[in-house]
Chain A
Amino acid sequence: MFYRESGQFKSTYAEDSQIFPIRQDRWVVGGIVAFAFLGIPLLAQFGWVSNYAFTAILTPFLIFALAALGLNILTGYAGQLSLGTAAFMAVGAFASYNFMLRIEGMPILVAFVLGGLCAAAVGIVFGLPSLRIRGFYLAAATLATQFFIVWCLTKVGWFTNYSSSGVITAQKIEMFGYAFDSSMSKYLFVLGIVSVMALLAKNMVRTNIGRSWMAIRDMDMAAEVIGFRPMRTKLMAFAVSSFYCGVAGALFAYAYLGTVEPEGFNLDLSFRILFMVIIGGLGSILGSFLGSAFIVLLPIVLNVAMQSLEGAGLPLPSGIGSSIELMAFGALIIFFLIVEPHGLARLWQIGKEKLRLWPFPH
């Protein structure tokens, strides 16, 4: 009844080419963004959003969503499966760290961009095999990125400023004399960056560059015949994707953990982000956010469930939590691939279509 596009006629292609052509969608998304920027800080003022919520849920959710977005560009849109996401994040984090460390007065945002660009450069190099191989051959080859990069960062002392343990402590986030040191201010900092980058990504995937990625993904021969150049298109996907992952990695270090070591960007993290993309929805910007929320919340929910089981007098062996988490992740991946390969984003879409017809389903 209320979610209808009837009566909304589009008289220009400009109107029809908007990100959200349906007015109700614009309201909802606008509402969510406003709530994220204003509502949540306000609630925090009243003590309704705890520090824990900022540091353990909201901030990591946004950072992982950005990384998932990066991987989604590569895997979901351009069709190149990668198992090396965490390595690109690591490059972004450690490059930003070194730019901040070694260049006097380096503005933090510039350092992040430069870090992202370093990740993009690495992405291009390790993306070269994609020109010759595809599918799981490529996936297996991307493991080289994962292991090699982490090894390099661990062994070459320069990257960690010769820290004996390999752990780096990210510099303070400061902009225009303002220090982002409270958990809420870090959240807002991340939110700002992630919102802008999500918007840019959305614009890319709905214009020529995005179409070139999807064309290569769906039918590379035909894409070539109509004039897309596979090499350029694929390397561009690797570059943009790695840039996003690199910035996500920098935020991971600066706004989430504070101290990181190269080993923190291990294969497990790469898989985790891949899972976000699969569960959220391959080839969907929204899906990257939904998937991230899901994977961030799942362990918390499991934890609570297990604690209440224990509270109910059912003693569980210690350490079983992480095993159950693994099983749940695995089972969910399989479940989604079988039941809804387009992930949560598609479920959302279906829900909307139902709503459009409601309450008269014809």
Chain B
Amino acid sequence: MSKKSGEVILSFDNISLSFGGVKALTSIGFDVREHEIRAIIGPNGAGKSSMLNVINGVYHPQQGEIVFRGQKRRGMNTYESAKSGIARTFQNIALFKGMSVLDNIMTGRNLKMRSNFLLDAIYWGPAQREEIAHRKAVEEIIDFLEIQHIRKTPVGRLPYGLQKRVELGRALAAEPSILLLDEPMAGMNVEEKQDMCRFILDVNDQLGTTIVLIEHDMGVVMDISDRVVVLDYGKKIADGTPDEVRSNQNVIDAYLGVAH
């Protein structure tokens, strides 16, 4: 890939997280560079999702340090990380089931809205102008994701593949600088996967968005990512370019299930 990865914007050092007795992450350290597509892979239960949850502050590691845009911190918090441009999708779709596609994506823009509830209630002048401006931005995302035909449909009624797409739309609506994607292609057929790959690459290319991606489909990962970190049982076992990782003995063992 001929792309320009920039500075390191996010790095982890010695991150450990456990739930009761279960160690989800043990002394993990790696970094993410601006504009790159960074994949996290590993067998089931390896701690990939937990890692994303640490990044955007859903989980708080018991140990370790995070450096985000040059600032050291113990952990992130959800609101702050959203505010500072981190958006994400979830492994088990976390859309707002009772709302339409349009409204779901509109929620992604909430941090950009200035209007307060009183102005909203009157819906006159600035409040209306703002709402419509955001609506325009959202419509662009809808066009980009090719989901115009379902914009007024409640998301609960959509098939799985489309829901995943809407969830990506909601994340994109925030115009994030870092996008965290947790298995965006799980459960999709080949065609849907191709679409999704195209969207991810386009976002990365055209908007320069940094992407942290969890994915089980090795073909996809090796194709689109710049660097890959491999987790197994909560530990990092490899980190590097797709080619380096592919030929790493630890990785091969982990995937072939060699006893530890």
Contacts and interface: CB of A to CB of B under 8 A. Distances in A.
Do A and B come into direct contact in the complex, CB within 8 Å? Answer: yes
Contacts of A229: 79
A207 B107 contact: no
Interface string B127-138: 110011001100
A214 B113 contact: no
A200 B119 CA distance: 10
A226 B174 contact: yes
A17 interface: yes
A211 B58 CA distance: 21
A196 B39 CA distance: 53
B144 interface: no
Given A13-B136, A207-B123, A226-B82, A283 B128 contact: no
Interface residues of A, number: 31
A43 interface: no
A94 B170 CA distance: 45
A75 B46 CA distance: 39
B118 to A, nearest CB: 9
Contacts of B99: 211, 214-215, 218
A179 interface: no
B117 A283 contact: no
B78 A225 contact: yes
- Give the size category of B's interface with A: 35 or more
A10 B110 CA distance: 25
A14 interface: yes
B79 A218 contact: no
A215 B107 contact: yes
Given A17-B135, A225-B88, A236-B117, A217 B98 contact: yes
Interface in A123-150: none
B120 interface: yes
B41 interface: no
A12 B171 CA distance: 25
Nearest to A222: B94
Interface of B: 56, 58, 78-79, 82-83, 87-88, 90, 94-99, 103, 106-108, 110-111, 113, 115, 117, 120-123, 127-128, 131-132, 135-136, 139, 170-171, 174
16 contacts: A17-B132, A200-B121, A203-B122, A204-B117, A204-B120, A210-B120, A212-B107, A214-B96, A214-B103, A222-B94, A225-B78, A226-B171, A227-B79, A227-B111, A229-B79, A236-B117
Interface of A: 12-14, 17, 200-201, 203-204, 207-212, 214-215, 217-219, 221-229, 236, 240, 283
Given A17-B135, A211-B103, A226-B170, 7 more contacts: A14-B132, A203-B120, A203-B121, A207-B115, A209-B121, A215-B107, A226-B174
